[in-house]
Amino acid sequence: CKLRELEWPDHWWWSDSARLAGPGGPEDPTLEWVDAAFAAVGQESPPNPDISAEEWLIRKGASVQALAAAEACYANDFGCGLAQLGLRELITENLAWDAGEAYLLLDRSLR
Please answer whether residues 2 and 106 qualify as being in contact, where contact means their C-beta atoms are separated by less than 8 angstroms.
Answer: yes
Question: Per-residue pLDDT tens for 3-35?
Answer: 888 776 667 777 777 777 776 667 788 888 998
Q: Output the pLDDT for position 9.
A: 65
Question: Per-residue pLDDT tens for 46-74?
Answer: 999 999 999 999 999 999 999 998 998 88
Cα within 13 Å of Cα(3), Cβ side? 5
Q: Output the pLDDT for position 66.
A: 93
- Please give the residue that has the higher pLDDT: either 52 or 111: 52
